[in-house]
Structure 1
Amino acid sequence: MRVNAEILSEGEEEEETKKGKDVGLQKMVVGYALTSKKKNSFLQPKFEALARNKGIFFVAIDSNKPLADQGPFDVVLHKLLGKEWTEIIEEYRQKHPEVTVLDPPDAIEHLQNRQSMLEDVAELNFCDGNGKVGTPKQLVIEKDPQSIAHAVEVAGLKLPLVAKPLVVDGSAKSHELFLAYDQNSLSELEPPLVLQEFINHGGLLFKIYIVGEAIKVVRRFSLPNVSEQELLKVGGFLRFPRVSCAAASAEDAELDPGIAELPPRPLLEKLAKELRSRLGLRLFNIDMIREHGTRDTYYVIDINYFPGYGKMPDYENIFTDFLLSLGRHKKRPTT
């Protein structure tokens, strides 16, 4: 039975509950509100089967019906955009504090703007015995592409610059980026956008997945280093539809050990703990680079809410354990 495809009927729910009791499991119902694309990548058959064996059942939330009339749920998992949905889920959170909502809409909104998403990292001024973590120097351009070159000069940003859309709305366009090599090319960019100083990082990016307190790091190929000579010769800008996708995995590549070495685990654990607290989120990932030629200087260049966990190795077990931890000390009230 595929319980994720539609709301369970009363008879089906009773049958599934009985099954859970038969195997000595406490049933957990996870209502989900996801786009079709996110649902297909996240709710893979292997994951659903594992979760079901542990007493976790995924139930689709019908956006055409009042959320309060659906359930009851132990957990609500969502990643939908728009003011209307935000108001619906926020009202639901207020009226049903016994339900774990992943995650609060106002906290998610904080990551939908590339200016605000990195503010918490910058304010941390994170530095310990395992390394230093900062953010690239950046500048927000709201409008008027003709003024970009002057604004860059005033801000003291050094070329080349990475240009990214200011708003992260889940679309393919919001993940596009451009690498601008000279001042003249800046006027061809389309605001609103964020300009970040490009930091040579050996063409490798660390994608750090956070699932509650669990951390999983994978290597992804990224933009190659830019030399001083290349900067003088190359003009204009280069467009990259998407960097660090799963197809760009560097896990099995032969890499310089100094580039491929993962960031120290204690550093990642402390950083993740700080960001969980500051962001108020439990499901996100951090895109981090190591400055080329250093061993302990890192930069966070992006943070994403509810990333493509289906691309994360062993996500089925990690996410199942996370959901079980949410219900371990909580019991859904009877209605």
Structure 2
Amino acid sequence: MRLKGEISHWREEEEEEEEEEKRESEVNILAFPQQQKVVVGYALTLKKKRSFLQPKFERLARNKGILLVAIDLNRPLSDQGPFDIILHKLLGKEWCEIIEDYGKNHPEVTVLDPPDAIRHLHNRQSMLKDVADLDLSDCHGRVGVPRQLFVMKDPLSIPDEVTKAGLCLPLVAKPLVVDGSAKSHQLFLAYDQLSLSKLEPPLVLQEFVNHGGVLFKIYIIGDAIKVVRRFSLPNVSKCNLAKDAGVFRFPRVSSSASSADDADLDPGIAELPPRPLLEKLARELRRRMGLRLFNIDMIREYGSRDVFYVIDINYFPGYGKMPDYEHIFTDFLLGFEQNKFKKRSATQLVEVNIHCT
């Protein structure tokens, strides 16, 4: 069966690379000791494969007994494997239906992550609702989302809607839909109300919160949490608002080139969020969203020590930019097999006890 629609447009670009991966997988399966093998089937975009499946990661996975196998999108998924884990990041209704059906028919296989849960992060309105509903006041800090407004259509109405909502300038504008495209990550800063009508709905408008030009990127891999600092947008003063006008586009502020971990920063800006706060935030979001692979973009309100805002959540982010991701991710994958082994051992022990009695 050949996949159509959103998936099939990758075929021409990826076909040669996938043929090579398939040949390598067949050789690896034969060479791999049967008792060590944890088979991880992956279905990733070409961009994600290049950033995530780095040579160091692949070597470490192989040494730990993890076999990475490319899923052939031109063949039925049920004819491939067997897999212990499926790791995926593809868009499109057809792929979601395929992976959902596979999960129902193969409950013994761990799917990272369920398509229904991933869809939750494809819309910035639903994405941040879980954060807004949280109460983390007992964890050495407060976490919320900036005041925001969702605009679905009619850009000419935006200035009036902003006035009615009582939002204060400047405003950060982001596309409402997050579909993995470059456009979905475009970021604009609007300094004056009249220029808001130049924006293109559907979008979300967030009040800009001064945060000292530093963003905390919090990577979640199962129970593991890793935080890195990234340079972000500088503070905006009243003087800026008085002299600046228009809508300005900014590049993505969380790229690897903008690392702030080694910069000489004011300790009040650079101090990482409290660990208990991050652990509870990650735990609650894992539970509410049903996801195990995501990252949180968080800022600290400038001039405070314990007031934080979540401004974005991303599924299966660029882990290749995360320090030591190779060890954390491979241990995460092995953890699923270890848990299965424990459950099997517990079941066998119960059966032996029943038999003995």
Runs (4+) of structure 1 moved beyond 4 Å?
7-12
Structure 1 pair 312–15 and aligned structure 2 pair: CA distance change class (3 A): same
Partner residue, 1:267: 277
Percent identical pairs in the alignment equals 73
Alpha-carbon deviations, 1:69-116, whole Å to 9, x = none?
A: 100000000000000001000001111110000000010000010111
> Secondary structure, in 3 states, of the residue corresponding to 1:128?
coil
Alignment-mate amino acid for residue 13 of structure 1: I
Could you tell me whether the CA contact under 8 Å between 2:25 and 2:70 is conserved in 1?
Answer: no
Q: Indicate whether 1:139 and 2:149 are aligned.
A: yes
Q: Indicate whether 1:173 and 2:173 are aligned.
A: no
> Secondary structure, in 3 states, of the residue corresponding to 1:130?
coil
Count matched residues.
Answer: 326
Partner residue, 1:163: 173
Structure with the bigger percentage of helix: 2
Tell me by how many angstroms 1:172 deviates. Answer: 1.0
Tell me by how many angstroms 1:275 deviates. Answer: 0.5
Q: Indicate whether 1:256 and 2:272 are aligned.
A: no
Partner residue, 1:322: 332
Partner residue, 1:6: 22
Q: Indicate whether 1:303 and 2:313 are aligned.
A: yes
Q: Indicate whether 1:38 and 2:44 are aligned.
A: no
Partner residue, 1:214: 224
Alpha-carbon deviations, 1:293-333, whole Å to 9, x = none?
A: 000000000000000000000000000110011111326x9
Partner residue, 1:15: 31
Could you tell me whether the CA contact under 8 Å between 2:29 and 2:67 is conserved in 1?
Answer: no
Equivalent residue for 1:72, pick from 58, 82, 85: 82
* Aligned pairs (5 A) from 1:52-71: 52-71=62-81
Could you tell me whether the CA contact under 8 Å between 1:199 and 1:291 is conserved in 2?
Answer: yes
How far, CA to CA, are the matches of 2:25 and 2:265 in structure 1? Answer: 53
Could you tell me whether the CA contact under 8 Å between 2:136 and 2:277 is conserved in 1?
Answer: no
Equivalent residue for 2:61, pick from 39, 44, 51: 51
TM-score, length-normalised on structure 1?
Answer: 0.94
Alpha-carbon deviations, 1:33-60, whole Å to 9, x = none?
A: 0001100100000000001000001100
How far, CA to CA, are the matches of 2:26 and 2:325 in structure 1? Answer: 31
* Aligned pairs (5 A) from 1:68-217: 68-217=78-227
Equivalent residue for 1:283, pick from 260, 282, 293: 293
What is the RMSD computed on CA atoms of the aligned residues?
Answer: 1.8
Unaligned runs of 5+ in 2: 1-17, 345-357
TM-score, length-normalised on structure 2?
Answer: 0.88
Could you tell me whether the CA contact under 8 Å between 2:151 and 2:204 is conserved in 1?
Answer: yes
> Secondary structure, in 3 states, of the residue corresponding to 1:139?
strand
Could you tell me whether the CA contact under 8 Å between 1:126 and 1:134 is conserved in 2?
Answer: no
Structure 1 pair 78–4 and aligned structure 2 pair: CA distance change class (3 A): farther
